[in-house]
Amino acid sequence: IKQDIASQIWKNKNADERYIHGIIDGISIPFSGVPNFCLTKSPDEIITVQDIFNNLIAMYELIKTHGNITSAFLAQNYRSHKHKQEGNRRHLAVWIKWKIINKKLGCEYVFDNPLNMESGKVFDNLSECLLELGFDLSGEFNIDSIKHILDESIRVYSQ
C-alpha cells in the first residue's frame, strides 16, 4: 500500500478539528495546531534569536526534501486521571499482551503481528487483568497503587 503520508506527519493534514485550532485561556486560535515552519538546527547550535529565524524552513519545503516517509506509528495513551484513552482504534505496530503471572500483572511484547491489533483491545485486556487483581480503572485509580503487583516482565524506569 502506497500512501502519501508526509503531509499528515509534517503538517497535521486531516487532523481532528480539535487539534487544528488550539485553545489558550478559553480562546480558539485558528490553525495554531498546524505547523508552518520547522527549526532545522540542533538546540546546541542555536545561540541567538536570529539563529532561530535563520534556520526555519517552511513545511511545504520540508515535505519536498523529507517527504519520503514509509511508516509512521502512533502511541497508545491512557490518561488515568481523566479515565480516557487517546486513539482507541489505533493500529499498533508493537503491542503488549497483558497477563497474570504468579498473581502479578505481567506482559508479553508482541513484535511479530504489526498493525493487526487495535489499541482499544489492548486497553480492554489490561483492564481485565487489573480487575482480576482487584484494581478498577473506572474508579479513583492511582498508578502508584499497582507498583507492588508488577511482574518482572514489565519494564519500569524510575524518574
Residue 104's pLDDT band (boundaries 50, 70, 90)? very high
**Strand pairing partners for 120?**
none
Record the pTM: 0.58
How far is it, in rounded angstroms, from Cα 105 to Cα 100? 5
pLDDT in tens, 3-45: 566 676 666 777 777 778 888 888 888 888 888 888 888 889 9
Place of cell 481532528: 16
Q: How confident is the model at residue 1 (pLDDT cuts 50, 70, 90)?
A: very low
Q: What are phi and psi for residue 37, nearest 5 degrees?
A: -140, 160
Listed residue (19, 140, 146) closest to 82, CA to CA: 140
Domain boundaries, the chain: 6-66, 77-149
DSSP 88-146: TTPEESSEEEEEEETTEEEEEEE-SSTT-EEHHHHHHHHHHHHHHTT--TTSS--GGGG
Distance CA 37, CA 60 (A): 9
pLDDT surpasses 70 at 73: no
pLDDT at site 17 = 76
| Cell numbers representing residue 139 in the block | 474508579
Query: In this structure, what is the dihedral angle of CA atoms 58, 60, 65, 69, given to the nearest 10 degrees?
Result: 120
Helix (H, G, I), strand (E, B) or coil at 14: coil
Closest-CA residue to 96 (of 129, 49, 132, 145): 129
